[in-house]
Amino acid sequence: MARPRTSRTRERIQEAALELFAEQGVRQTSLRQIADRLSLTKPALYYHFASREELVASLLQPLTDDLDALLAEDEAAGDVDARELLGRYFDVSYRHRAVTGLMLRDLPTLSEFGVVERIVDWRRRLTTLLVGPDADVAARARAIVALGGLGDCLVLLADTPVDELRTAALDAACAALGHPAG
Amino acid sequence: MARPRTSRTRERIQEAALELFAEQGVRQTSLRQIADRLSLTKPALYYHFASREELVASLLQPLTDDLDALLAEDEAAGDVDARELLGRYFDVSYRHRAVTGLMLRDLPTLSEFGVVERIVDWRRRLTTLLVGPDADVAARARAIVALGGLGDCLVLLADTPVDELRTAALDAACAALGHPAG
DNA sequence: GTCTATAGGCCGATAGAC
DNA sequence: GTCTATCGGCCTATAGAC
């Protein structure tokens, strides 16, 4: 039976799940804990989500959709400035920073959702955009440090005002790429 | 009853566990799977390790011991060159690269072992050694990108010969720090 | 939409024979 | 040192009342 795609209770379940996933990990969080936080019972969750897997996937989707769209855009644009590209990547990651944090910290759990393959693909395409398709190890290392560093800054400097954080993270990432002036 | 600290079977259990943890995550791996891979049974594992937790902790200990020792040395030395410091950090992480990979990818699971607190402490002390104790956000971002990037290179360029990998990773990390020549 | 009750499975861990 | 057998617990998921 078709249930509405959004409802207040459904959103509250997603919010509580995301909080608990961030606090203690995805695999370590049971449906019972999510239900308890909302003073519901487990079967109530199953009214809104067909399975635990569907709940997790519904949390990942907005970020993956935005990243796929961003990459398709930049690949179509042809000639892209590195700092602008990294800036757009930062903005998407920041907008979904709770889920971004999950993806950085909880990879083995999320591998059941094909997340690992998608992340590997994103990084491959971003690396191609940054240092070209046939880059040597040195160039690939610079791209890895730049891209990984952006994500690490998001997580580790989470309480910094976003403007300041954005500038600092982009400066460091561009320096790693070998573009000291940006 | 005191069991020997090392034995061939004990080592084989640790090797099989580390393989499975790397393949599918720590929390996703049961004692039954580890026993099956060795054609043993669960109770045989309990002869060698008092609990699942003790098995995991025994895998983490060599890396944590080496990192603690390295940091104590560098903090005592006073004046340290950034590239040399990062080089020693790379060498320890590479020597224990299987466990290093676990610590980067499986943080929520390993948080039960106090690993998160230790990693946060290591990064804080390494950051202090690299950019000083009162660094601003921009400097801390550079240190985060440099340190995180080293680990990412270890994982993502795992099939690169170590000499080449070491040079490429250190070059990129030093560039992020703002020391382009090393 | 939410509940009570429960099925069915895998887990970590232990008892006790060999 | 390793086995068979088993315990108690928590999990995901479902049946069916309200």
Convert the pLDDT of each residue in A19-68 to its tens digit: 999 999 999 999 999 999 999 999 999 999 999 999 999 999 999 999 99
Within 8 A of A20 by CB-CB distance, chain B residues are none
Quick one: A99 and A46 in the same domain?
Answer: no
Note the pLDDT of residue A180.
Answer: 65
Express each pLDDT in A148-170 by its tens digit: 999 999 999 999 999 999 999 99
Contact B176, B164 (CB under 8 A): no
Residue B122 beta carbon within 7 A of nucleic strand C: no
- The verdict on residue B182 lying in a domain is no
For C5, which residue's CA is nearest its C1'? A43
Which of B68, B86, B64, B65 is closest to B76 using CA atoms?
B68
Q: Confidence band (pLDDT; 50, 70, 90) for B115?
A: very high
- The verdict on residue A182 lying in a domain is no
Quick one: A99 and A18 in the same domain?
Answer: no
Nucleotides in chain C with any atom closer than 7 Å to protein CB: 1-5, 10-16
Is the model's pLDDT at B78 over the cut of 90? no
Distances (CA, A) of A138 to A142, A175, B173: 6, 14, 11
Express each pLDDT in B29-45 by its tens digit: 999 999 999 999 999 99
- The verdict on residue B15 lying in a domain is yes
Query: How many CA atoms does the CB half-sphere of B30 hold within 13 Å?
Result: 6
| Minimal C-alpha gap between A178 and chain B (Å) | 7
Which of A28, A107, A175 is nearest residue B175 as measured by Cβ atoms? A175
| Minimal C-alpha gap between B70 and chain A (Å) | 23
Nearest residue of B to residue A29, measured between CA atoms: B108
Q: Which domain holds residue A102?
A: 60-177
Query: How many CA atoms does the CB half-sphere of B138 hold within 13 Å?
Result: 5
Contact A99, B126 (CB under 8 A): no
Note the pLDDT of residue A78.
Answer: 83
Quick one: B43 and B116 in the same domain?
Answer: no
Spatial separation of the C-alpha atoms in residues A36 and A33, rounded to whole Å: 5
Percent of chain B's residues with pLDDT above 90: 93
Q: Over chain B, what is the mean pLDDT?
A: 95
The residue type at B20: L
Q: Does A182 touch chain B (CB under 8 A)?
A: no
Q: Is B75 helix (H, G, I), strand (E, B) or coil?
A: helix
Note the pLDDT of residue B3.
Answer: 78
Q: Does B56 touch chain A (CB under 8 A)?
A: no
Number of domains in chain B: 2
Q: Determine whether the interchain pair B140/A107 forms a contact, defined as Cβ–Cβ distance below 8 Å.
A: no
Distances (CA, A) of A61 to A24, A54, A114, B53: 21, 10, 12, 34
Q: Does B108 touch chain A (CB under 8 A)?
A: yes
Strand pairing partners for B106? A106
Quick one: B90 and B161 in the same domain?
Answer: yes
Quick one: A84 and A46 in the same domain?
Answer: no
